[in-house]
Structure 1
């Protein structure tokens, strides 16, 4: 079996100058390659009014956008606008963060206007870098003459740091994201190598012209409320972490896929007892790591305490196909479990063969001793 995953054994620190070009972009979901729409509820006071527009399962393409203004913006939004609109980026860089130390550090970053708040397993803070020479923008703008008004005057950036090793950044420039990662690196546990960092990229804008939605990885929001961003960030962070789990499980299955064929052809695995024990240990560690992060795969506790955030979180979770991916992940973990059981049986067989050899050697030694005694007795009688 190949060397264990960086998440399991620990590896070199994240190279903050290379994360953006070396990291793995995009999860294993259809929205990464196909345009997709998901309506975001506006809140408990408006959710019932929009019931006809937001059924339980809204999962459609551009043709399903009936609002003409929203449709015009959706048609216009494309790759060129990703450099113009604010970014939403998630980085999975470690197994976990040391949250208490990180909270104390951010509390002292008054120059960045940091005001950290620990909300369950997430540490939220506004975090702004000085941008010398940048001219402030004021007032609304439009993507098209017939499109909606978009507010571009807001300049505060928001940081959401999740205990399980994912940071979600709203409104940062690409170079600023690298600065944030560099600052957070000292608080990481089980750092991932830069080539194993998982990255999710989106864009967002603020508009009052139509209902909030996600289309083609663009978030349209009504305001800059950090609790709304928090509910969306929970789903994005989960998606980034699940992407890491998906890769770990896929690599493990790929590394061990020849084991069943070898057993079918020869009746055993051509591995030493030590190698079998190492493989069992790696498979077991993988299962433990995924199961210990069970909160990543389920709804966060915040949704119980703040039920008004649940519809927004679930809509984003549906867009990112988290439920389907978790189900597939569990299926693959069952394959890993089968491999683990198979290696245990092989180990038992090897151990049994070893004991048989010992018994045979002892019997042979006893026979040799008996023959020697007989020869000695014969010579003694002569």
Structure 2
């Protein structure tokens, strides 16, 4: 992949937006003549706009007018599953400085030498991952809000505070959070464009560091592990409760059989007199 855009000669600022449009985006068959990448699918829009579509439900747009943005998202709607209302997004300012050092300062713009397709893909990858992580963090935290009081009461009282149906519901929420998050966003994986452009490694590393992608992914993984362990613990509690009730039923049946046998013996002795 080679750079096709000329180096920008004057400083310029563009806004990049990463939007969560749904749970998944089906990009199969969306290739266009102006496609600049297949994974993720990225293409040009208008005079200087570019769009990247990530299969985990995120669209990254740079340099589009409001009308171009609305038109692009409306055409994409038929390809989205689990569509979401607007609100999950990440915005960044791209400052094109041909003579500057490519970096991302805390709270400041992302400085790049030019808006080539390759640099766009690097920036889009980082923005897509940070907004997807924010979505996953919220989903996992919702489950934690339910698990924490349950665990606290279990530790204090020594018995589950919920009925079996509520426990099963909590297990379902835990498994659903694990299913939604696990394997959806491979934060540790670098964008494919870096195989062809290793000189952009430093820009990507600075973006990963600025958005704390690895640290957030680590925290999210540990929370998922806790959720899975909690689901297993709840399953064990349900199994133990069921076994206890089964043992109690068996004991009651044995006692009833003994009582019946004693009654029969007493009736037999009474009849023999």
Category of TM-score, reference length = shorter chain: 0.7 to 0.9
Aligned residue in 2 for 1:159: 51
Instruction: Kindly indicate whether the alpha-carbon contact (under 8 Å) linking 1:115 and 1:126 is maintained by their aligned counterparts in 2.
Output: yes
Aligned residue in 2 for 1:211: 101
State which of 312, 323, 329 in structure 1 corresponds to 2:203. Answer: 312
State which of 74, 92, 109 in structure 2 corresponds to 1:182. Answer: 74
Residues 228 and 366 from structure 1, CA distance in 2 versus in 1: closer, same or farther, beyond 3 angstroms?
same
Structure 1 stretches of 4+ moved >6 Å: none
Q: Which runs of 5+ in 2 are unaligned?
A: 4-10
218-227 or 364-373, which deviates more: 364-373
Taking the TM superposition and a 5 Å limit, the aligned residue runs for 1:15-26 are: none
Aligned residue in 2 for 1:116: 35
Deviation of residue 156 (structure 1)? 1.7
Aligned residue in 1 for 2:6: none
Query: Is 2:178 the counterpart of 1:287?
Result: yes
1:45-67, CA deviations, whole angstroms, 9 ceiling, x for partnerless residues?
Answer: xxxxxxxxxxxxxxxxxxxxxxx
For 1:118 and 1:364, locate their aligned partners in 2 and report how far apart those are by CA, in whole Å.
75
1:315-343, CA deviations, whole angstroms, 9 ceiling, x for partnerless residues?
Answer: 21111111221222223223323322331
For 1:224 and 1:100, locate their aligned partners in 2 and report how far apart those are by CA, in whole Å.
26
Residues 174 and 254 from structure 1, CA distance in 2 versus in 1: closer, same or farther, beyond 3 angstroms?
farther
For 2:25 and 2:248, locate their aligned partners in 1 and report how far apart those are by CA, in whole Å.
51
1:53-86, CA deviations, whole angstroms, 9 ceiling, x for partnerless residues?
Answer: xxxxxxxxxxxxxxxxxxxx9xxxxxxxxxx943
Query: Is 2:9 the counterpart of 1:91?
Result: no
Q: Which runs of 5+ in 1 are unaligned?
A: 1-42, 44-72, 74-83, 108-113, 129-154
State which of 223, 237, 241 in structure 2 corresponds to 1:346. Answer: 237
TM score, norm. by length of structure 1: 0.62
State which of 186, 194, 211 in structure 2 corresponds to 1:303. Answer: 194
State which of 216, 220, 229 in structure 2 corresponds to 1:325. Answer: 216
331-340 or 300-309, which deviates more: 300-309
Deviation of residue 376 (structure 1)? 4.3
Instruction: Kindly indicate whether the alpha-carbon contact (under 8 Å) linking 1:242 and 1:297 is maintained by their aligned counterparts in 2.
Output: no
Deviation of residue 370 (structure 1)? 1.7
**Larger RCO (CA under 8 A, 6+ residues apart):** 1
